[in-house]
Amino acid sequence: MDKIRIVGEKRLSGQVEVSGAKNAALPILISSLLSEKECRFDRVPDLQDIRTTLKVLRHLGVSSKVVGSTVTLNGQSIASTEAPYDLVRTMRASVWVLGPLLARMGHAKVSLPGGCAIGARPINFHLEGLKKLGAQIELENGYVVAKANRLQGARVAFEFPSVGATANLMMAATLAKGETVLEGCAKEPEMTDLGNALKAMGAQIEGHGSDVIRIQGKDSLSGCHHPIMGDRIEAGTYLASAVLTQGDVKVLGISPDALEAVLVQFEQIGAVVERDLKGLSIRLQMKQRPQATNLTTLPFPGFPTDMQAQMMAVLCLASGTSTVRETIFENRFMHVPELLRLGADIQVKGNTAVIRGVESFTGAPLMATDLRASASLILGGLAAKGETIVNRVYHLDRGYEKLETKFKALGAEIERIA
Ligand code: UD1
C-alpha cells in the first residue's frame, strides 16, 4: 500500500495551481442524470472519488469520455435506476443519484450509505425533502426505494443547512412540476457552482448560494458546458503549509471569497494575506511563529469543517493555547492521536480540542484515517524535524490531485513510496 515520505522543515515558497473542487464536481457530474443531452465539464480533478462517480454513472447508463480534465457525459439512455451497496459504500456522495433518478425516471433504488469514520451521517433530510416533493419512500434491506409519478414542486425547510440535502433537492426540483422553494439551504460555494451548472443545463433556479433557493421545474433539461470552480479546501491546505513552514505561497485559480473565514484565521495568527479578487489568487506570507487562536467550525460562511484538521496541525505549533470546536461532525478528531505522535499537546473534551502550542514537531510514522485528517498529517510532516511516513494515503487520493508534485514544486522534500 502506498505511503508518503516527507523530510520536513523545508521552507515552502512559490505558486500552486488549484484543481477543480471535488465537492462541486461530484454533484455536478451526477446532475448529468437529469438530461438526455451531452454535458461537458472542464476542470474536473483527477481523483479517486471522481473515478467512483463515473463508475456509478456508467452503471446507471451515462456514458463518459475523459480527456485531460474535461469530462463529457451523455445520459440519453438510463439503463438502471439502482445504485448498489458496493458502489455507494466506497463513496457516500453516491446518494446524490437519488434525487436526479427519481425526478427523471420516477423511481430509484439506492443503497443507504451507512456511517463513516467522521460520524453517523444520516440522510433523513434528503428523504424528508423528497417526500415533500411527493416521493413515496420505503427502506428495504438497506436500500432506499423511492417512487413518484412526477415530483411536484413544494416548500421544503431544512432543519440544518445540509450540503448533501440541499444538492439532492436542488437537482430533483429542476424536473418537478411547478415551483419548489428550498429554505434553510447550505450556502457553500459548491452549492452556488451546482446551481450555475444546472442553470447552464436550462434549469430555472435563483438564490443558489443563499438561504432560500427557488426553482421552477422544467419538463426536460438541455446539455451544457460548465467549468468547475476551484477547490477552496485544497487552496486552504497549501496556504496552511506556508504558515507552518514560515513560507510564502500563492494559490492560483481560487476565489478568495470562498475561503474568507479561513483567511481571517490565518491573519489572526499572524500571516500576511493578499487577496486578488479579479485575478482569483491568494498569497500568504508567514514570517514568524503563529499565535494561538480559538475557532469553531460552522456552515458556510463560517470556518469549514473540512479545514479543521489542517488548522489544528498549524495551531499545534503556535505560541499559546488554542481551542478548536467541531460543531458539524461528531467524530472529527481522529487526527489528534496522530498529531500527538509528532509531539503535539492536545486534549479533547467532547467536541472541543484544547491545543497547547509546542516549539516543534519530530517526524514519526503516522496513519491516515480520513481525507482531511490525512492532509493535516502531511502538513505536520512538512513542519517536523526529520522523516515522517504517512501510511494509508488512499484517503488523500480521494481529494488531493497531484499532492506530492504540487508540494515538491513549492520546495518540499516529499515522495510516494510503495
Ligand atoms: C458535505 C461535504 C463534506 C463537508 C460537509 C460539511 C461533499 C461530498 N461532502 O458532506 O466534505 O465536510 O458537507 O460542509 O460535498 N445531516 C443529517 N441528516 C441529513 C444530512 C446531514 O443529520 O440528512 C447532518 C450530518 O450528519 C452532519 C451535518 O448534518 O452532522 C452536515 O452534513 P452535510 O452538510 O449534509 O454534509 P455532507 O453533505 O455529508
At 341, which amino acid appears? R
- 241 CA distance to ligand 1 centroid (A)? 26
Structure confidence by residue, pLDDT tens digits, 298-356: 999 999 999 999 999 999 999 999 999 999 998 899 999 999 999 999 999 999 999 99
CA distance 96 to 110: 9
Q: Taking the CB of residue 16, how many other CB atoms lie within 10 A of it?
A: 25
Distance CA 43, CA 20 (A): 5
Closest approach atom of ligand 1 to CA 161? 34
Q: In this prediction, what percent of the chain has a pLDDT beyond 70?
A: 98
The CATH number assigned to the domain holding 134 equals 3.65.10.10
For every residue of 50-80, DSSP letters joined together read HHHHHHHHHHHT-EEEEETTEEEEE-SS---
Q: What is the pLDDT of residue 181?
A: 98
Helical H runs in 133-188? 163-173
Confidence at residue 118, expressed as pLDDT on a 0 to 100 scale = 62
How many residues make up the chain in this entry? 418
Into how many domains does the chain fold? 2
- Ligand 1 pocket test, pick from 97, 118, 162, 192 with the greatest ligand atom count within 8 Å of Cβ, gives 162
d(CA 271, CA 290): 8
The Cα–Cα gap between 379 and 181 comes to 42
Task: Check residue 88 and give its pLDDT.
Answer: 83
Same domain, 330 and 203: no
Q: Is 237 helix (H, G, I), strand (E, B) or coil?
A: helix
pLDDT for residue 117:
66
What pLDDT was estimated at residue 273?
Answer: 98
Q: Would you call 236 helix, strand, or coil by DSSP?
A: helix
- 333 and 262 in one domain? yes
The Å distance, Cα 63 to ligand 1 centre, comes to: 28
> What is the model's pLDDT at position 39?
98
| pLDDT more than 90, % of the chain | 90
Residue after which a domain boundary falls, among 205, 227, 249: 227
What are the residues whose beta carbons fall under 8 Å from the beta carbon of 260, sequence distance 6 or more? 301
Reported as a pLDDT band with limits 50, 70 and 90, residue 165 is: very high
Final residue before a domain boundary, out of 170, 201, 227:
227
Question: Residue 358 in 3-state DSSP?
Answer: coil
Residues 64 and 182 in one domain: yes
Q: Of 183, 212, 227, which closes a domain?
A: 227
Q: How far apart are CA 401 and CA 130, in angstroms?
A: 34
What are the residue ranges of helices labelled H in 283-323?
308-315
Q: Which atom of ligand 1 is nearest to the CA of 190?
A: 15
CB atoms within 10 A of CB 348: 14
Output the CA 319–ligand 1 centroid distance in Å.
33
Ligand 1 atom nearest 233 alpha carbon: 11
Q: Do residues 215 and 255 both lie within one domain?
A: no
Residues forming beta bridges with residue 63, ordered by sequence position? 74
Read off the pLDDT of residues 202-217 as tens digits, 9 standing for 90 and up: 999 999 999 999 999 9
C-alpha closest to that of 240 among 275, 196, 290: 290
User: What pLDDT shows up at residue 122?
Assistant: 87
Phi-psi region of 7 (alpha: psi -120 to 50; beta: other; left: phi over 0): beta
Q: Which of 328, 330, 334 to mutate to test the pocket of ligand 1 (most atoms within 8 A of CB)?
A: 328
Statement to judge: residues 247 and 299 lie in one domain: yes
Instruction: Examine the domain organization and report whether 68 and 137 are in the same domain.
Output: yes
DSSP 162: -
Given pLDDT bands bounded at 50, 70 and 90, which one contains residue 121?
confident
Are residues 198 and 255 both part of a single domain? no
Q: Is 116 a catalytic residue?
A: yes
Q: Are residues 271 and 173 in the same domain?
A: no
Rounded Cα–Cα distance for residues 169 and 166 (Å): 5
What digits encode the pLDDT tens for the residues 368-398? 888 889 999 999 999 999 999 999 988 899 8
Where are any strands of DSSP class E within 43-167?
63-67, 70-74, 82-83, 107-111, 136-140, 143-147, 155-157
Domain that holds residue 214: 22-227
Report pLDDT for 246. 98
User: Could you give the CA distance from residue 368 to residue 340 in angstroms, rounded to a whole number?
Assistant: 13
Instruction: Examine the domain organization and report whether 77 and 133 are in the same domain.
Output: yes
> Which residue has the least CA distance to atom 24 on ligand 1?
121
pLDDT at 155 over 90: yes
Mean of the pLDDT values across residues 61-75? 98
Per-residue pLDDT of 210-257, as tens digits, reads 999 999 999 999 999 999 999 999 999 999 999 999 999 999 999 999
Specify the residue with its C-alpha closest to ligand 1, atom 28: 328
Kindly give the distance from the C-alpha atom of residue 160 to the centroid of ligand 1, in angstroms, as a whole number.
Answer: 10
Q: Ligand 1 pocket test: which of 26, 163, 326, 351 has the largest number of ligand atoms within 8 Å of its C-beta?
A: 163
Taking the centre of ligand 1 as the mean of its atom positions, its distance from the CA of residue 111, in whole angstroms, is: 17
Q: Are 323 and 208 in the same domain? A: no
The span from the CA of 380 to the CA of 364, in Å, is 10
Q: What pLDDT does residue 320 have?
A: 98
- List the single range of 17-21, 82-86, 116-120, 297-301 with lowest mean pLDDT: 116-120
Q: Which atom of ligand 1 is nearest to the CA of 26?
A: 8
* C-alpha pair distances (Å), 156 with each of 112, 125, 189, 197: 22, 10, 21, 22
pTM of the model: 0.97
Both 266 and 319 in a single domain? yes
Q: Tell me: do 180 and 241 sit in the same domain.
A: no
Ligand 1 pocket, Cβ-based, cut-off 6 angstroms? 23, 26, 93, 119, 121-126, 160, 162-165, 186, 305-306, 328-329
Per-residue pLDDT tens digits for 70-94: 999 999 999 999 998 888 888 888 8
